Amino acid sequence: MTLILVRHAQSESNASGLFTGSMNVALTDLGRRQAQALAGRLASLPIAAVYASGLQRAQDTARPTAERFGLDVTVVEALREAGLGEAEGRSWAEVRERWTLGTDARWADEVPGAERGDDVRARVSAGIDALMERHRDELVLCVSHAGTITHALQHVLGLTLEQGVRLSVQQAAFNVIEWSTRGLVLTAFNDRCHLDDVTG
């Protein structure tokens, strides 16, 4: 089984440097071009299913690829970005000024109303394992979010929240997870060659 895990393309909040979390925001013009470029890159692959978070930016990134294959975009709750509570809609500088942030995957635990890191990890890990089990002999696309993908990759690499390294998950880049006799293996990280001709 092969799972292509993609961060959504550039959103309006990404462009303005704001935390988004569970907020619904649209893609920018650049983001829409990135989504089309992604669809072109994946067009020759035997994609059996397309999954995405229920948030608009993930849906809009997944849709061009799904349409190429005549597939629907199926919402998976486990792929949703972590809710960031009172940090949503604020800049990094403002969030750092207001709250003391941790250095591991529990970084937002001090933010009022934010989803706890342990809960995000449990949700994401269970979701990834379920998809891998459901599609053991297939290739599927999952469009998600930076925080969610970071948890998924740390899960694949066997890292605890305390061990979790900070990963810079790029917009519209894809990461490939494969099932092998050794279990889950990360075989590609931040592949964004399809974006070389996209301006921005």
For range 106-135, the mean pLDDT: 92
Q: For Cα atoms 192, 172, 73, give the angle at the middle one, nearest 5 degrees.
A: 130
Q: Is 8 a catalytic residue?
A: yes
Q: Which domains does the chain have, with CATH numbers?
A: 2-195 (3.40.50.1240)
Q: What is the pLDDT of residues 124-144, one digit of tens each?
A: 999 999 999 899 899 999 999
pTM (predicted TM-score): 0.93
User: Has 77 been annotated as catalytic?
Assistant: no
pLDDT at 20 over 70: yes
Q: Sorting pLDDT into bands at 50, 70 and 90, what band is 168?
A: confident
Catalytic residue among 81, 115, 151, 194: 81
Catalytic member of 8, 151, 155, 194: 8
Question: How far apart are the C-alpha atoms of 127 and 47, rounded to whole Å?
Answer: 19
